[in-house]
Structure 1
Amino acid sequence: MMDKYFGVGVGFKPEHFKDIMQGQPDLGFFEVHAENYMGDGGAPHRMLGALRENYQLSVHGVGLSLGTMGNLDQTHLHRLKDVVDRYQPALVSEHLAWSSHDEAKNLLFLNDLLPIPYTAQTLDRVVEHVDQVQTTLGRQILVENPSTYVAFSETQMSEIDFITQMQSRTGCGLILDVNNVYISANNQNMDAFEYLDAFPTHAVGEIHLAGHAEDLDDEGKRLLIDAHDRKVAPDVWTLYQHVIAKTGEKTTLIEWDNDVPDWPTLYQEALDAKSLMAKSGAKTHAAE
């Protein structure tokens, strides 16, 4: 899985369907959010079925809540399996986050991807959940590094240590979201290049690139927000070049989920990623 290269792709948006079908853009894949295709039929499936005839798919989940201390929602997990079985995507992924809470047997869902404390207890629970998902789906999944805004006081290990141990114990693959790294580095006064150099890139199956919003925190300091609502920032492109110079060709996704632009604008972001990949001299299976 991790050694396969599917090129550069973008997140699929229905408003771009006509342009994609008419233009047949030179892309390796399209990503879709699994939860948008958990119904039985209708226009979403008609469009995705047509797309699947010409392109690979990457199915990205946002609702499994791998980091919850409660139980995984089995109904949601099996709906995900139905989507994966139906479309046989090249990649399946989820977030290192939690978004549900099992309170007195009543599962509560929160409309956000919330951070987790990096503790031994949380690690054991995440490993259990990743194992359960991979067993149910009958395949490897990729888990994405989060964007963070604060650190937990009870944290016992670094994010890199947590992710490395999770990957080693489950055999899962990883998504390296470079924009998330940039956001976390700014918000928590870390060095983004040091983070990337320590990341277990041998397990990365996909890289994510996206735009972020800027604000100020309560102390007037620069605060970055993972908004997915604009072009990739120049500093993030620089970090991306740093990564692929080390790893070689890696499947790369442009994420743009809010304030979605017209198709030519989104496609140009993908072409820019392809150009940087070519300029870097990256080759498939480059040595780590």
Structure 2
Amino acid sequence: MFDTQPRFPELPALPGVGYKPQHFAAIMADPDPVGWLEIHAENYMGAGGRPIAQLRHLSERFPISVHGVGLSIGGEGALDPDHLARLKHLINWLQPTVFSEHLAWSTHGAEFLNDLLPLPYTNATLTRVADHIDQLQEVIGRQMMLENPSSYLAFAESTWAEPDFLSEITKRTGCGLLLDVNNVFVSATNLGFEPRAYIDAYPLDKVGEIHLGGHDEDEDDHGAPLLIDSHGKPVVDPVWALLDHTLARSGPRPILIEWDTDVPDWPILAAEATRAATALAKVAA
């Protein structure tokens, strides 16, 4: 297991946002209440140009969280060595505060799927994911955080509850956890479990970052509600309520507002961050 002690600096327990280049000028002029930024690693693996130049400026002013979407940590095949090398290069020069990835798979053989697909929670999956996390942490030389997925179906072969599965991964690898509260709400609605009970069973002491985002509402073939994790709308009130429940148990944590499709103007995104700041202030009080 990778030695994650001593840990790298943590993000501040403040609101953050997923950085989009169209917001660069507004963020540099007046970022309040945003205290940190997150980028997707795969968008910054090039050699230079305006994206890298802007990121260098931002990193001088804000703590940066790097969030990967393409490693396929849950995939059956080996991690892509070229992808790992590019990720290591990015982390070496940027020196972000944290790095995170998804508990999901997105590769099959040589094919890459543009989706983050869920996994069966079995002992075999646990060993494979833990091995991949160990390898990743050795390559990048630091602790990573693993994000809970949004699920649309359950696997009959699963023998672990998701919170227990994630807890065991942290014990085997020393990794931290990224808790996506919207993903919990989406999965709970789609699979029919109680989201607060999920939070109550979650290893909150391992959480270094919380995500919030919007989702789309649909119906399945039987007319039951089906939620799609889209990151293209404001956070809904039930997810804000679930965040309050989470923070009451965990204490203040860094909270990220994700908005990756139909990205709005900066004031709308800043307003979501302000609401996150209000949630944090209630816990602090």
Letter in 1 for 2:86: R
Following superposition, the deviation at residue 154 of structure 1 comes to 1.3
RMSD: 1.2
Contact in 2 for aligned 1:59/1:91 (Cα 8 Å): yes
Q: What residue number does 2:126 align with?
A: 123
1:140-174 Cα distance to aligned partner (Å, 9 max, x none): 00000000000112112111121111111001000
Unaligned runs of 5+ in 1: 283-288
Number of matched pairs: 278
1:66 aligns with 2:73: yes
The corresponding residue for 1:4 is 10
Determine the structure 2 residue equivalent to 1:235.
Answer: 238
Asked whether the equivalents of residues 147 and 183 of structure 1 are also in contact (C-alpha less than 8 Å), the reply is yes
2:274 is the alignment partner of 1:271: yes
Distance across 1 between alignment mates of 2:155 and 2:40: 29
TM-score by length of 2: 0.95
Tell whether the 8 Å contact from 1:119 to 1:157 is kept in structure 2 after alignment: yes
The equivalent residue for 1:260 is: 263
* Partners of 1:152 and 1:91 in 2: CA distance: 31
Alignment correspondent of 2:140? 137
The answer to whether the 8 Å contact 1:208/1:252 transfers is yes
Q: Larger deviation: 233-242 or 21-30? A: 21-30
Q: Distance in 1 between matches of 2:217 and 2:31?
A: 35
Please give the per-residue CA displacement for 1:36-90, whole angstroms capped at 9, x wherever unaligned: 0000001110111111111010000000000011100010011111111111111
Following superposition of structure 1 onto structure 2, how do residues 1-288 of structure 1 map, counting pairs within 5 Å? 1=7, 4-6=10-12, 7-102=14-109, 107-281=110-284
Instruction: Note if contact 1:2-1:204 (Cα within 8 Å) is conserved in structure 2.
Output: no
* TM-score normalised by L of structure 1: 0.94
Distance 1:238 1:254 in 2: 15
Deviation at 1:26, TM superposition (A): 3.5
Amino acid in the other structure paired with 2:93:
R
Tell me how far apart the structure 2 counterparts of residues 3 and 153 of structure 1 sit (CA, whole Å).
Answer: 40
Q: Quote the Cα distance in structure 2 between the aligned partners of 1:24 and 1:187.
A: 36
- Report Cα offsets for 1:114-144 as digits up to 9, x if no partner: 1111111011000000000001011000000
CA contact 2:146–2:176 (8 Å) conserved in 1: yes
CA drift of 1:5 comes to: 4.4
Consecutive aligned runs of 4 or more in structure 1 exceeding 4 Å deviation:
none
- Are residues 254 and 281 of structure 1, via their aligned partners in 2, closer, same or farther at CA, if it must alter by over 3 Å? same
Post-superposition CA distance 1:179-219 (Å, at most 9, x none) = 00000000000000000000000100000001111000000
CA contact (8 A) 2:252 2:283 kept: no
**CA distance in 2: counterparts of 1:45 and 1:167, whole angstroms:** 32
Give, in whole Å, the separation in 2 of the partners of 1:2 and 1:255: 23
Given that residues 3 and 205 in structure 1 are in contact (C-alpha distance below 8 angstroms), is that contact kept between their aligned partners in structure 2? no
